[in-house]
Amino acid sequence: MIKPKIYQSKKEWLTARGIGGSSASVINGHNKWQSLNDLYNEIVNNKNSNKDDERMKEGRLSEEFIRKLFIIEHKQFIVVEPPIEPNYWLYTNDKEPLLTLTPDGLLFNKETKENGFLEIKDIELRKKVDKEVWASGIPSYYFDQLLHYFIVIDDLKFGILQARLKVYVNKDFDHIEERSYLINRKDFTKEIKELKEKELKFLNENVKKKIRPVVEITFKKGE
C-alpha cells in the first residue's frame, strides 16, 4: 500500500489537499453545502470555504472515541489510526497526486488478508428530511466519499462506514443510533469508474487549466 505524507500543521495540510473525500460529492452533484465553484476556489485559489463551527469540532473530537470503540469490538481488524494533531496525514493517488485522501482509519482484515478503510460519522439528525435520507441507507453525499477511498488507494478492497446518529424529536435529544455499513470494491466498480472520470475531468479541464467550471442555472416555467 502507498504511504501517506505527514504535514505538521493544518495550514500545510489544507494547502496540499486536492480533490479529497468531501470533494467527491461536489463533483458528483450530491453536495448540499458546497458548489463546484467553491471547490475550484478551494483548490486553485487556496480559499477554504468549509466553516469550522462548534458542531464540526465536536464531530472531530468524537472520531477518536468512536474509533477506539470500533477497535475494541472488531478484533478481526488491525486498525491503523491517523497521527495525533497537530500532525495530519494525506494519501495521494500514485498516478494523479491531486486526488487525495485523509482517512479516519485504515483496516487490515486478519481473516481475509484484505486492506480496507474506516470512515466515521458523528451526525445530528434534527430535520425530518435528514432522518428520511438516513432511513434509506447511506446518504449519497457520504457514499461518494466512500467511493473516493477506492479511487485514491488501489489496494483497498472494502470499507466500513461507522455512523453515530444523534436523533432529535421536536428539537429535543431523543436517542442515539449506532450503524455500521460495509461496502466492497467489487460491488461498485461501475460507480467508482464513473466518479473517477468526473474527478479527472474536473482536474484536467478546470483545475489544471485554471478555467472556472460552467455553472448551469435552470428556471421553472413562469419564473
Lowest mean pLDDT among 33-47, 159-173, 185-199: 33-47
Angle at 91 between CA 87 and CA 92, to 5 degrees: 135
β-sheet bridge partners, residue 108 = 78, 115
Given a contact cutoff of 8 angstroms between Cβ atoms, the answer to whether 115 and 155 are in contact is yes
The closest alpha carbon to 211, from 219, 220, 202, belongs to 202
Q: pLDDT at residue 158 above 80? A: yes
Strands (E), 64-212: 77-80, 88-92, 100-101, 106-109, 115-125, 156-169, 172-184
Q: Which long-range contacts (CB under 8 A, 24 or more apart) does 190-193 make?
A: 191/147, 192/147, 192/150, 192/151
What does pTM read for this prediction? 0.92
Half-sphere exposure of 14 (CA within 13 A, CB side): 13
- Residue of higher predicted confidence among 50 and 157: 157
Using pLDDT thresholds of 50, 70 and 90, give the confidence band for residue 124: very high
Using pLDDT thresholds of 50, 70 and 90, give the confidence band for residue 221: low
- Residue at 208: amino acid letter: K
The H-or-E segment that residue 209 falls in is none
Using pLDDT thresholds of 50, 70 and 90, give the confidence band for residue 223: very low
pLDDT of residue 53: 73
**Four-point Cα dihedral 112, 116, 121, 127, nearest 10:** -80
Q: Tell me: the pLDDT tens digits for 146-157?
A: 999 999 999 999
User: CB under 8 Å to 39, separation ≥6 — which residues?
Assistant: 19, 23, 26, 27, 202
**Can you tell me the distance from the alpha carbon of 25 to that of 33, in angstroms, rounded to the nearest whole number?**
10
The closest alpha carbon to 180, from 206, 165, 162, 164, belongs to 162
Q: pLDDT at residue 106 above 80? A: yes
Q: pLDDT at residue 203 above 70? A: yes
Question: Residues 208-212: what's their mean pLDDT?
Answer: 96
pLDDT of residue 219: 52
pLDDT of residue 58: 82
- Residue at 179: amino acid letter: R
- Residue of higher predicted confidence among 61 and 116: 116
Helix then strand then coil, % of the chain, to nearest 5: 40, 25, 35
**Average pLDDT for the chain:** 92
pLDDT of residue 46: 82
The total number of residues shown for the chain amounts to: 223
Q: How far from 71 is each of 22, 78, 183, CA to CA, in Å?
A: 25, 8, 18
Residue ranges per structural domain of the chain: 5-207
- Give the max Cα distance, the chain: 61
Q: With pLDDT > 90 as the criterion, what percentage of the chain qualifies? A: 83
Q: Distance of alpha carbon 95 from its chain centroid, rounded? A: 20
Answer CATH for 5-207 from 1.10.3720.10, 3.90.320.10, 3.20.20.70, 1.10.760.10: 3.90.320.10
Q: Tell me: the pLDDT tens digits for 83-103?
A: 998 899 999 999 999 999 999
Question: Residues 72-91: what's their mean pLDDT?
Answer: 96
